[in-house]
Amino acid sequence: MTNSIPEFEENTNCFFVIGSNTSEGHPLIATRMLKAQKRGAKIIVVDPRKNQIGHWADIFYTFRPGTDVALFNGLMNVIISEGLEDKAFIAERTEDFEALKTLVAEYTPEKVAEISGVPADGIREIARTYAKAKPAAILYAMGITQHTTGVDNVKSTSNLAMLCGNMGIPGGGVNPLRGQNNVQGACDMGGLPNVYPGYQAVTIPDVQKKFQDAWGSAGPLTVGLTVTEMLHAAQEGKVRALYVMGENPMVSDPDLNHVRHCLEETEFLVVQDIFMTETAEMAHVVLPGVTFAEKDGTFSNTERRVQRVRKAIEPIGDSKPDWVIICELAKKMGATGFDFASPSDIMTEINALTPSYGGITYARLEELGSLQWPCPTVEHAGTPYLHKGKFARGLGKFFPLEFKEPAELPDEEYPFTLTTGRLMFHFHTGSMTRRSEKLDSEVPTAYVEINVRDAEKLGLNGDKRVRVTSRRGEIELDARVTDDIKRGVIFIPFHFAEAAANKLTNSAIDPVAKIPEYKVCAVKVEIVK
């Protein structure tokens, strides 16, 4: 997030929520938005389903999955043609505005209505509400990113925010709501194939040298493989060993039949986890790690806030904290530089090598509760919102972007568009929440949401068992008939291994971010006799 959650309640006058079911995915963020709504802030939601936050929105429209770029261009078309853009901000802080203006001129509300399914007057209503309500915040989640045009979608959000001068101010910004407790931290710490901790690129020789000097040895100057690419490489025999810590690709990755095949081809699979997950069942060696309650450490939340994790109980059975396991393995392989007495010791090394975490020490976290990066020194108070006065790159760049269709569109054989997502009661692949009695009893298994008129056409009288099939696989599950989802679109939560939505999803990826297109694929629906 460029901005901070407390600002939502205090400063934000308009929330534009797209591709996020905030009240289910991030309930305590939604709480702050609803408090802001009480003092008059507007909530705009656009989503293929009338999700829970959609029911509380001041303005809500459904739209066709994967048409985000067209929708943003349409909004900017209205803002520019009605003179609602922030001219001073554009002149002082941005570049390439003319190119953007020329491109979005083509995207009239009428044309975008045809592409997206949002009526032309609805596009005008959203555009005017957002543009006139400074500071306005854009909030999104995987509904924006999990597309073959994911990078274009994200750039579109920043185009709109800059157009209205909503960057570098409290209560504004572009705010990706991250799904996992420490997905931000895993990225910050270099759990990515192209960067060391602090987003220092592996391709820069000076960076490589810095880490060679610190560690004695470092990675090559070439970018490594992403998770989707690793699995393909395993199938081809190029990757022979895969070490998985606390992840469950056998439920979370797209096109699961293919994932199973790839993991079967992996010569040596090590899984370090707390439960016998679907992935661990396939492993050659399973190492028992511990939960958050049995270890010390830190997590970094979606607004870059670093906070302490504190050990409450001893490890269960013979399990060990994950940091201890890694240190013991490294030492077994003869490595030096893994003699840490505690996570606090590890943080000291992180402080020295990661500029944005330079001042985030355990002593300060004990005193202050949390610190938001960038926090380069122990004197620095942390950074609640980014891009104040100046963007990291200098001027903010507008990207003129043409709309591109998703990789797989519905056709005669597969007439529905499947979109996947999360529920309030469950988390990711369900390995924790489905073992929590109360959460499990709320939603014990998978279901598919289908529009009431589509259901009538299929002869689904009331909720029934259906089979959903894509080009990659099929699953059987109960149907839930609703008028809260757009016609032609069905929704399946992906938490449930027994009817895994990801058996159906398409592994087509964004060419830059390599993110799979979970949010759009073509399927058919049949009643199970």
Partner 1 sequence: MIEYKSVLTTCPYCGTGCTLHLQVLDGTLVGTLPAKEHPISQGGLCIKGWNVHAFVNHKDRLRTPMIRKNGKLEEATWEEALGLVAEKLGEFKAKSGPDSIALLTSAKCTNEENYLLQKFGRAVIGTNNVDHCARL
Cβ atoms of 475 and 525 closer than 8 Å: no
Does 285 bind partner 1 (CB under 8 A)? Our answer is: yes
Angle at 190 between CA 256 and CA 395, to 5 degrees: 105
Stretch that binds partner 1, among 95-103, 116-124, 395-403, 511-519 (CB under 8 A): 511-519
Nearer to partner 1, 94 or 184 (CB): 184
Pick from 99, 105, 204, 241 the residue near partner 1 by CB under 8 A: 241
Helix 68-81 × helix 97-104 angle, to 10°: 100
Pick from 123, 177, 492, 521 the residue near partner 1 by CB under 8 A: 177
Q: Which of residues 138-157 bind partner 1 (CB under 8 A)?
A: 145-146
Does 293 bind partner 1 (CB under 8 A)? Our answer is: yes
Q: Which of residues 365-404 bind partner 1 (CB under 8 A)?
A: 369-370
| Angstrom distance (rounded) from CA 253 to CA 159 | 30
Minimal distance in Å, beta carbon 179 to partner 1?
A: 6
Stretch that binds partner 1, among 48-56, 132-140, 272-280, 448-456 (CB under 8 A): 272-280
Nearer to partner 1, 347 or 523 (CB): 347
Nearer to partner 1, 105 or 293 (CB): 293
Pick from 49, 50, 64, 320 the residue near partner 1 by CB under 8 A: 320
Q: Which of residues 411-430 bind partner 1 (CB under 8 A)?
A: 424-425, 427-428
Pick from 44, 137, 207, 326 the residue near partner 1 by CB under 8 A: 326
Task: Give the number of C-alpha atoms closer than 13 A to the C-alpha of residue 333, restricted to the C-beta side.
Answer: 8
Cβ atoms of 469 and 523 closer than 8 Å: yes
Does 299 bind partner 1 (CB under 8 A)? Our answer is: yes
Pick from 13, 21, 158, 300 the residue near partner 1 by CB under 8 A: 300
Nearest to 525, CA basis, from 483, 484, 481 = 481
Q: Which of residues 179-218 bind partner 1 (CB under 8 A)?
A: 179-194, 196-197, 202, 211, 215-218
| Angstrom distance (rounded) from CA 487 to CA 504 | 19
Nearest to 109, CA basis, from 78, 63, 153 = 78
Q: Residues 23-42 vs partner 1: string with x where CB under 8 A?
A: --xxxxx-xx----------
Does 453 bind partner 1 (CB under 8 A)? Our answer is: no
| Contacts (Cβ under 8 Å, ≥6 apart) of 467 | 474, 475, 476, 525, 526, 527, 528
Secondary structure of 384-447 in the HEC alphabet?
A: CCCCCCCECCECEECCCCCCCCCCCCCCCCCCEEEEEECCCCCCCCCCCHHHCHHHHHHCCCCE
